[in-house]
Amino acid sequence: MANMAQAIRMALHYAETHLGVTDIFGEDVGAPLGGVFTCTQGLKTTWNSPLDERGIIGAAMGIAMGGGRPVAEIQFCDYVYNTIDLLKLAGNTCWSSNGDWNLPMVVRTPVGSGIRGSIYHSHSFDATMTHIPGWKVVMPSNPLDAYGLLISACKEQNPVMYLEPKALLRVKGEERIPGEPDDDRTLSKLIDAPLGDRSQWKPQWPEALEAFAVPIGKGKLVREGHQVTVVSYGRTLPLCARAAATLADEGISVEVIDLRSLWPYDWDMMKASIQKTGRVLFVNEDTEVTNFGEHLVRRTVDELFYSLLAPPRLLAGKFVPGIGLADTLEMASVPQQNDITTALRALAGEQP
Amino acid sequence: MSRPRLIKESSAPLPLDRELLVRIHDLMVKTRVLEERLIQMYKQGHGYFWIGGPGEEAFNVPLGLLMKKGQGPEYDFLHAHYRQSGTLLALGEEPIGALRQMKNTASDPYSGGRNFAGHFSLRKYNVAPVSSPIEVQYSIAPGTAMVQKRVGGDGITIVTGGDAGTAEGDFATCLVWSSRPANPLPVLIIVTNNKWGISTSAEGQHGEPRVSERGKAFNIRSKTINGNDPVESYLELKEAMEYVRKERRPFLLEANVSRLYGHSSASGANYVTEEVDCLKDFEKRLEQDGVLTRQQMDDLRNRYTEDMAAAARIARDEPLPEPESIWKHIFAEDK
């Protein structure tokens, strides 16, 4: 099975050959590197930009205005912060021009902890990004969704922020992307650039790749359960799924929802689940103050208060200025497997 | 770099056709009267904030006249700032649109009552939405130019901003991205230099003698011109645009202009007598050369003043947007 980086690459290949993507660009996105996480190796419309994030977002906006379809990359989300006003502008361009202009553009950026990235390569961006209206925001937790969400993003008429959980970029999927070869080694031989001299290398893209699209705004019911609901996305989703499996052995039934799209999000799916279980835990790794999960907690209280058997909970990153390099510091800063299992166990046992 | 121009001799005849001179003058008067009406509307409480460009007509009108007008990459793109009503009127816009924007009516053609005066958006003529944060347009402009270069043809991207905003990184972004050896771009980078950033004079903030000299470091052809002279502006813009159209490379043009009513309503919006008034100077020369009489010019101004007052009355009585319309156009599909 493809890993997430390969899935992203195959989706971009599909998008530039079938969906009209004209420019895939950013720092080190083009040859020879093809992205620091290898997500853009071998693609035909890639090019290397100056080391200038404002230029990257601005150029993407201009290309979209001009009639192109750009997919821009910010190397780490930690560096997208100096483009915040441009992101705001991209988000309000359709609205402020009363529908005169719209920007079909995608921005991809790796987010979150898990690669021992220290203070400037571990940040999350979901809380900040969901605070900027006018964007659609997605974040896959597995290669198939990574492929399908990117296909949808590249069909959009609006700006889409595509957040890549960097801890999962090398994790192989459990489901096959429609059209990928049966065997991992074959896939790697076809589309992974060799180490060393790549000047003569060209990828051989699987010909059977399909326009498999995950609709933006639709969550995924990862595991059914009836005692407690856990809602997550990105790096913490697989941890939640494992926690649910562990707790099943203890006789606790956990329903797991992968939100996939943060804006717009699948409230119907969450609502149905919370009404069924009466208990909900939201999990992400962004800092916990003014966290996107806090919004979900608020909406749960507003709309589902009388269905609840316990207060809705949020498990998120600690409100500290950064993630320290030492293993102990990183582990203490963002939710880990044990934190999630413990929180779910406690919530399941909480009585009104 | 370019030949000296005889127009600088005040005794020399004006080197443009009479018809063009009259057209430029007409649009300059129309623009000035529009801006004065906008200021009046603000002062009468028919708008919350005024910002505009009286004093820049001599540059902005020729710019609009010279643009290749249309929609899509085959035509020119304009990434404007909020002092360019003259350019919009020269593109053929009617002044009532700006008045409607000042009054925030639902009929405001540029933002539906959502944005300030002078914040135009006109997709049919490739005028990108004007943004209040100064200079972001300099980061966006290379994008449209990239598409234009790829599409072919002679469409160019024009980006304008003020001298104060050149302190922002976006201006450097524009210089860097337009002149990349990997892909030089057809961008006419314009700075209208009025020597002020709100209340702060350029003298205290800018060490470079001329903004245009910053182009040299990037091997970008550049020039500083007198933006208060519509004839010089027209000829220099024409030459710069022809270069960008043909060579598909950037050009940095700095136009020295006046700021006749201050920065905005925030600084009073009162006429500043010590600044050069490009319209008065131009009218003197038109009269001197026998192109137009004082009477003709006075009649024109009076006519526009009446037209503008009538248009303002229309705008004043039009409804504001419906409250529930806030949900429209957040996304392209929210029609």
Q: Convert A44-98 into a string of H (helix), E (strand) and C (coil).
A: CCEEECCCCHHHHHHHHHHHHHHCCCEEEECCCHHHCHHHHHHHHHHHHHHHHCC
H or E segment to which residue A332 belongs? helix A327-333
Amino acid identity of residue B189, one-letter, is: I
For residue A50, list chain B residues with Cβ-Cβ distance below 8 A.
176-177, 180
Name residues whose C-beta falls within 8 Å of residue A250's C-beta, 6 or more positions apart in sequence.
Answer: A345
Give the model's pLDDT for residue A348: 97
Measured at the CA of B140, the angle between CA B102 and CA B108, to 5 degrees, comes to 20
Coil, strand or helix: which one is A282?
strand
Query: Between B140, B157, B335, which is nearest A58 by CB?
Result: B140
Q: Which residue of A has its CA nearest to B122?
A: A100
First to last CA, chain B: 51
pLDDT recorded at residue A41? 98
**Full-model pTM:** 0.97
The answer for B 237-276 residues in CB contact with A (under 8 A) is none
Interface of A with B in 12-51 (CB under 8 A): 22-23, 47-50
Contact A89 B136 (CB under 8 A): yes
Q: What is the pLDDT, as a whole number, of residue A295?
A: 98
Is B169 near chain A, with CB under 8 Å? yes
- What is the model's pLDDT at position B13? 81
Give the integer Cα–Cα distance in Å for A221 and B31: 60
Find, among A251, A228, A220, the residue nearest to A313 by Cα: A228
Tell me: pLDDT of B2 over 70: no
Please tell me the distance in Å from A132's CA to the nearest CA on chain B: 11
Per-residue pLDDT at B12 exceeds 90: no
Q: How distant, in Å, are the alpha carbons of A148, A258, B137, B221 from that of A18?
A: 14, 28, 31, 39
Task: Say if residue A70 is preceded by a cis peptide, omega within 30 of 0.
Answer: no
Is the pLDDT assigned to residue B318 strictly greater than 50?
A: yes
Spatial distance between the Cα atoms of B4 and B12, rounded to a whole number of angstroms: 13
In chain B, % of residues over pLDDT 70: 97
B33/A194 Cα distance (integer angstroms) = 67
Instruction: Please state, in angstroms and as integers, the Cα–Cα distance from residue A347 to each residue in A195, A226, B271, B291, following that order.
Output: 48, 13, 68, 86
Task: State the best of A21, A54, A161 to mutate against chain B, taking most chain B CBs within 10 Å.
Answer: A54
The CA distance from B315 to the nearest CA of chain A, in Å, is 18
What distance in Å separates residue A162's CA from the closest CA in chain B? 17
A215, A203 Cβ separation under 8 angstroms: no
Give chain A's mean pLDDT.
Answer: 97
Contacts of B157 in chain A (CB under 8 A): 62
Question: What pLDDT, on a 0 to 100 scale, did the predictor assign at position B10?
Answer: 60
Q: Which helix (H) or strand (E) holds B222?
A: strand B221-226
Check CB contact under 8 Å for A100 and B122: yes
What per-residue confidence (pLDDT) applies to A352?
Answer: 84
List Cα–Cα distances, A23 to A43, A60, B147, B260, in angstroms: 10, 9, 10, 43
Tell me the DSSP string of B61-97: HHHHHHS--SSSTTS-EEE--TT-HHHHHHTT--THH
Q: In the structure encoding, which two tokens stand for residue A339, read together? A: 């934190």
User: Would you call B327 an interface residue with chain A, using a CB distance cutoff of 8 Å?
Assistant: no
Whether residue A225 contacts residue A236, with contact meaning beta carbons closer than 8 Å, is answered with no
pLDDT of residue B258: 97
Number of C-alpha atoms within 13 angstroms, CB side, residue A161?
33
Shortest CA gap B75–chain A (Å): 10
pLDDT of residue B54: 95
Q: What is the pLDDT of residue B77?
A: 98
Please, are residues B214 and B175 in contact by the beta-carbon 8 Å criterion?
A: yes
Q: 3-state DSSP: chain A helix, strand, coil percent, rounded to 5?
A: 40, 15, 45
pLDDT of B8 above 60:
no
- Give contacts of A55 with chain B, Cβ < 8 Å: 139, 142, 173, 176-177
Place B11 in a pLDDT band, splitting at 50, 70 and 90: low
Question: Is 90 exceeded by the pLDDT of residue B156?
Answer: yes
CA distance A178 to chain B (A): 29
Residue of B nearest to A132 (CA): B330
Question: What residues of A are annotated to the active site?
Answer: 121
Q: Angle of helix A53-66 relative to helix A84-96, nearest 10 degrees?
A: 20
Provide the pLDDT confidence category of residue B5 given band limits of 50, 70 and 90: low
**Smallest Cα distance from A287 to chain B, Å:** 27
**Residue among A58, A95, A133 whose CB faces B143 most closely:** A58
CB B49 within 8 A of CB B117: yes
Of A65, A134, A158, nearest to B128 by CB-CB distance is: A65
Which residues between 146 and 165 in chain B have a beta carbon less than 8 angstroms from any beta carbon of chain A?
146-148, 150-151, 157
* Whether A54 contacts chain B with CB within 8 A: yes
- Does A62 contact B140 at a Cβ distance shorter than 8 Å? yes
Residue B160 reports pLDDT greater than 50: yes
Any CB–CB contact under 8 A between A2 and chain B? no
Segment B247-258, tens digit of pLDDT:
999 999 999 999
Q: Measure the CA–CA gap between B49 and A2, rounded to whole angstroms.
A: 56
| B1 has a pLDDT exceeding 90 | no
A120 DSSP assignment: T
Under 8 Å between Cβ of A154 and A69: yes
Residue numbers of chain A with a pLDDT score lower than 70: none
Residues 148-177 of A with CB under 8 A from B: 157-158
Q: Each residue of B247-290: pLDDT tens digit?
A: 999 999 999 999 999 999 988 899 999 999 999 999 999 999 99
Nearest CA in chain A to B334: A99
Residue A303, pLDDT score = 98
Q: Is the ipTM of this complex over 0.90?
A: yes
